[in-house]
Amino acid sequence: MTGGWTAKRFWKDVSVTETEGGFGILLDTRRVQTPGKQPLVVPTEPMAAAIAAEWAAQDGEIKPLTMPVTRAANSAIERVRPQKPEVAAMLAAYGETDLTCHRATSPAELIARQAQGWDPILSWATDTLGARLVPTAGILPVPQPQASLDALLGHVMALDEFRLTALHDLVTLSGSILLGLAVARRHIDPQTAWALSRIDEDWQIEQWGADEDATEAAAIKSAQFLQADTFWTMCDGTPA
């Protein structure tokens, strides 16, 4: 989830300042604001320091694509905060058609690979999240237990807007609320989660070879997935 703006560098120094509600960033003496002119105040000092570093690295015209932490913080404040229930419901609804529940009907090798990778995630969700989801063969969804969907919504709603912003990308890029929460809960590392989300694609590549455009697109998504995990880490107050 990103925001956009255009500007040119006008400042000499960038610093972090403690302020009401968290930490802000100063460009000389001017406070950084979101594109919508709201105060850019973030919950932890490491996140503020990362944003300050992004602004300090700008030279000439501001390049938002080189500022992922700033863009994520802008999204948390301007997009997620005012519509948190809707964002949480959208993410929790991935449980209705979660990637880990949709299994191949053939060949046997792919079926086994999916089971080996995804069954432990389903078991973890049942035991830890109280969210038992039912796997099915094919692309058509099956009704999932309402109690499980409610449990997923509860876990997501409990997050603040900054963590919810990170989870948004973890879920939408992987296609799985379970993989997103597994990374957020530190049950699995993000590299493992990304590999699990790519079982079907990697299988196709093994059979038919790689497509250059698809490989490039996957690399971009992988980097975005890892960046979302980094943003989550900053929410916990841990430096990137």
Domain of 44, CATH number, reads 3.30.2180.10
Give which of 222, 80, 230, 50 is closest to 159, Cα–Cα: 80
Q: How far is Cα 76 from Cα 74, in angstroms, rounded to an integer?
A: 5
Is the link from the previous residue into 143 a cis peptide, with omega within 30 of 0?
no
Domain membership of residue 136 (yes or no) is yes
7 has pLDDT over 80: no
Domain membership of residue 9 (yes or no) is no
What residue type is assigned to position 4 of the chain? G
- 87 with 124, same domain: the answer is yes
Residues 112-139, mean pLDDT to the nearest whole number: 96
Domain membership of residue 114 (yes or no) is yes
6 has pLDDT over 80: no
2 has pLDDT over 60: no
pLDDT at 150: 98
- 91 with 78, same domain: the answer is no
- Could you read off the pLDDT of 29-72 as tens digits, one per residue? 899 999 999 999 999 999 999 999 999 999 888 888 899 999 99
Where a domain ends, among 63, 82, 101? 82
Where a domain ends, among 27, 62, 82? 82
pTM: 0.93
- 99 with 172, same domain: the answer is yes
Domain membership of residue 218 (yes or no) is yes
What does the mean pLDDT of the chain come to? 94
Q: How far is Cα 31 from Cα 116, in angstroms, rounded to an integer?
A: 50
Tokens encoding 144: 């999932």
- 98 with 136, same domain: the answer is yes
139 has pLDDT over 90: no
Half-sphere exposure of 29 (CA within 13 A, CB side): 0
DSSP state of 136: E
Task: Give φ, ψ of 25 to 5 degrees.
Answer: -125, 135
Domain membership of residue 209 (yes or no) is yes
Domain membership of residue 2 (yes or no) is no
On whether the CB atoms of residues 121 and 100 are closer than 8 A, the answer is yes
Q: Helix/strand/coil (H, E, C) string of 19-32?
A: ECCEEEEEECCEEC
Number of domains in the chain: 2
pLDDT at 3: 47
Where a domain ends, among 28, 54, 82? 82
Residues 79-107, mean pLDDT to the nearest whole number: 97
**Which band of pLDDT confidence, cut at 50, 70 and 90, is reported for residue 240?**
low
168 has pLDDT over 90: yes
Question: SS3 of 215, please?
Answer: helix
Instruction: Give the distance between the most distant pair of CA atoms in the chain.
Output: 64
pLDDT at 210: 86
- 50 with 103, same domain: the answer is no
- 132 with 214, same domain: the answer is yes
What residue type is assigned to position 235 of the chain? C
Range of the domain at 137: 83-235
What does each C-alpha distance from 105 to 94, 114, 115 come to in angstroms? 22, 11, 12
5 has pLDDT over 60: no
